[in-house]
Amino acid sequence: MQSFIKHTGLVATMDRANVDTDQIIPKQFLKRIERTGFGQFLFYDWRFEEDGTTPNPNFELNQAAVKDASILVTRKNFGSGSSREHAVWALDDYGFRCVIAPSFADIFFNNCFKNGVLPIALPEADIDHLFAAADRGPLQLTVDLEKQTVSDGDGWERSFEVDSSRREKMLQGLDDIGETLNFEAAITEYENARSW
């Protein structure tokens, strides 16, 4: 898993609440066994016209101004629906390192930390501010996980909360398996000491 320490990136906004995992990555694309390659199908039903290949010119992420966005700002209850990790894999593979919203579905929120995408919950007033700022022109934000701040470089800065254990794992780029491997020597010592 890629570590997350400090990231500065272009913001894409999605003015939609209750975006569920079926919308993030539709079920027909879940047949892949790798964690990669899902980005091309992110928000598939919204990004493309009915033919499945023509970009929908009205969809937020299809706007030229946010082509290389790596921070997604959206509305409440993002990631609701099923527990599929593929939703986070698709966001990551597309290029998003961070999602900022007023609230997240619990399982999606947990899956983000396990897969290197930082979910940040900010009050609705701050989300409204970010939408308004993005409407005025391209918006870049800096997300600093060490300091637990989001800032725009023009004086706007907010703090966010992250569980200390999750924060440390993301800073080090450790998923659950990586964290377990930190104890490899102790595990080996235990296994060697056991009498079978």
The 10s digit of each residue's pLDDT in 71-80 is 999 999 999 9
pLDDT of residue 139: 97
Predicted local confidence at residue 191, as pLDDT: 78
Give the contacts of 127 (CB within 8 A, at least 6 positions apart).
Answer: 73, 75, 100, 101, 102
* Three-state DSSP state, 143: strand
DSSP string of 94-135, one letter each residue: HT--EEEES-B-HHHHHHHHHTT-EEEE--HHHHHHHHHHHH
Q: Do the strands 149-151 and 157-159 form a parallel or antiparallel pair, or are they unpaired?
A: antiparallel
Residues 6+ away with beta carbon under 8 Å from 129: 156
pLDDT in tens, 117-141: 999 999 999 999 999 999 999 999 9
How does 118-128 read in b/e, with b if 16+ C-beta sit within 10 Å? bbbbbeeebbe
> How far apart, in Å, are the Cα atoms of 150 and each of 20, 61, 97, 119, 153?
25, 22, 13, 12, 9
pTM summary value:
0.91
Amino acid at 140: Q
- Are the beta carbons of 47 and 55 closer than 8 angstroms? yes
